[in-house]
Chain A
């Protein structure tokens, strides 16, 4: 059995850990509210954008010559995966969930004999992926300096993806991120952004539009913007998920630490009492033998 002193030290250390996790939980809760707000505020933009593109792609006259960002390069040989994770740890299963989803997708692609390229956004994902897929990672971006997800950063990633696409470096692009459902649930998502996957989405209106200039030109102007928008949306969802995940992880940690303190305190009291009893027995039996 551990000595009284050891137990005392352990109790103190668990208590200070609990203080940290409690503080982190509170910070995460405050940040979550802000992140959630901006995720909700950002939704109309990406929804509207999606809608316009749907209307456009339905109205496009010449399907054969549609912009490549919409229709693809006609083959599916090289896949680019943009894996979006956080820059900080201590957020429960947030990063591992994305990585797990991404890894199973990678395995599928490699099994099919296709080429794989990876861009990681956020340092945690890079840390986890470079062990296994180190040679596949072509780019690693991290936005440690920017406090909140902003469109400027998303645009940088978007530009990079488009440049690589235009240089013919890949055929299909998929982004991985966590969709924020609520504080406890975040759903890892794999979303294909190039070529644009519109299956199962019906245009909201049958009304025909007038286009100025023509559809093709608007589309070729709009599609690159849409890439950035989708990435921005993913970033917003991700930051809300990260805070939510951290909050529940820290809540659990605080509770566990509390339980541990209780258990250790009982053990401490017991062994203290045992020592007292032992001493008493020694004194009494000593007195008796006289």
Chain B
């Protein structure tokens, strides 16, 4: 029996990625990284800034996301996100830009705890990329 399932990533502008030969997806869920394999129980969760790892026969792919929702049902994984970048396409200057933005956000004093936490996460993730 095949151990593959389908993953679909959509952003508001378009369907970003559709792949149906995926063996495992690791998503940065809000309460910690979560690996999803075939026949996972139906789940809804949301994402914090981090890296989505997609493992498939045709090679592994990594994406950087800032937020989003994951829904897994009947071996269909849908990821809705407003900001997503393929790490392979992301060069150093783009990373630096994002990092700078995130740092600025994290250093603001007038934001609430949750956005502060999210901004810190962004900084952390972006730093590990370099």
Contacts and interface: CB of A to CB of B under 8 A. Distances in A.
A218 B71 CA distance: 12
Main secondary structure of the interface of A (DSSP, over half): helix
Interface in A39-53: 41-42, 44-46, 48-49, 51-52
Interface in B30-79: 30-31, 34, 41-46, 67, 69, 71, 73, 78
Given A48-B71, A52-B44, A52-B69, A212 B29 contact: yes
A41 B15 contact: yes
B71 A151 contact: no
A208 B45 CA distance: 14
Interface string B1-42: 000000000111111000000000000011100100000011
A55 interface: yes
Given A42-B12, A52-B80, A212-B31, A207 B44 contact: no
Contact of A209 (B11, B14, B44, B80): B44
Nearest to B78: A48
Interface stretch (A128-136, A193-201, A221-229): A221-229
Contacts of B71: 48, 51-52, 209
A248 to B, nearest CB: 26
B17 to A, nearest CB: 12
Contacts of A205: 73
Contacts of B14: 38, 41-42
B12 to A, nearest CB: 4
Interface residues of B, number: 23
B82 interface: yes
A16 B80 CA distance: 49
Interface string A14-41: 0000000000000000000000001001
A161 to B, nearest CB: 17
Interface residues of chain B: helix, strand, loop or mixed (majority):
strand
A38 B13 contact: yes
A56 to B, nearest CB: 7
Contacts of A222: 46, 69
A229 B34 CA distance: 26
Interface in A155-185: 155
A16 to B, nearest CB: 39
Contact of B30 (A42, A150, A213, A225): A213
Contacts of A51: 71
Contacts of A213: 30-31, 45
Contacts of B29: 212
Nearest to B11: A45
Contacts of B78: 48
A232 interface: yes
Contacts of A218: 44-46, 69
Given A52-B80, A218-B45, A218-B46, A212 B12 contact: no
Nearest to B12: A151
A155 B83 CA distance: 12
Contacts of B80: 45, 48-49, 52
Given A41-B15, A44-B15, A48-B10, A210 B31 contact: no
A155 B82 contact: yes
Between A42, A46, A56, the greatest number of chain B beta carbons within 10 A of the residue's beta carbon is seen for A42
Nearest to A215: B44
The 6 closest A-B pairs by CB, nearest first: A41-B14, A151-B12, A212-B45, A210-B43, A45-B10, A209-B42
18 contacts: A42-B12, A42-B14, A45-B11, A45-B12, A49-B80, A52-B71, A55-B44, A151-B12, A209-B42, A209-B44, A209-B71, A210-B42, A210-B43, A212-B29, A212-B31, A212-B45, A213-B30, A221-B46
Given A45-B10, A211-B44, 5 more contacts: A44-B10, A48-B71, A155-B82, A209-B42, A212-B45
